[in-house]
Structures are given as structure tokens and as C-alpha cells.
Amino acid sequence: MEFDITDIDKKLLIRTLLAHSEPIGLGKAEYNTRKSHREIVDGISDQECDYLLSEFNHSSEKPSTFGILDYHMGNR
């Protein structure tokens, strides 16, 4: 399945996909501690979004290390 994502906020797309994927594996105590220190625990930072987008949109000869996997259809 392919979607035209030309006109959407790509950072919002990345954050939404991440929010609905596997949890980041924090225990309750660690989650609460990080949250109390105002660390990002429910999503990713702008820098991480920029990195993922640069990997996804790279124009070099090397293969990308980032892709979106459709678990239902098994396509990348």
C-alpha cells in the first residue's frame, strides 16, 4: 500500500507512527522519573525526527538504514 505524503507534516507522521508502534520499554519507575525530569518519554525529539527524515530522504548511493515496514502486508 502506498500513500502520497507530499503535503503532510512529516515530523507529525513520524511521531504518530512511533506512538503507535512498540513501546520504548521503560518500567513504571523509570518512566515516572524521566517524566518528572521533563525528558521525552512519549515520543521523539526534533533532532531524532530530523535524523529519521534525512535517512528516509537521503540522496546518496548507500542504502537507507530507515524504512517503514507494513507488518500486515510484509512490504517495506
Q: For 11-49, how does the pLDDT look when each residue is reduced to its tens digit (9 = 90+)?
A: 887 777 776 665 555 667 777 787 788 877 667 778 888
1 within some domain: no
Give the total number of structural domains in the chain: 1
pLDDT of residue 47: 85
Q: How far apart are CA 48 and CA 29, in angstroms?
A: 24
46 within some domain: yes
- Say which residue, 17 or 75, is predicted with more confidence: 17
Query: C-alpha grid cell for residue 25?
Result: 520499554
Say how many Å lie between the first and final Cα of the chain, rounded. Answer: 10
The parent domain of residue 45 ranges over 10-56
- Say which residue, 5 or 37, is predicted with more confidence: 37
29 within some domain: yes
Mean pLDDT, residues 55-68 taken together: 60
Q: How far apart are CA 17 and CA 20, in angstroms?
A: 5
41 within some domain: yes
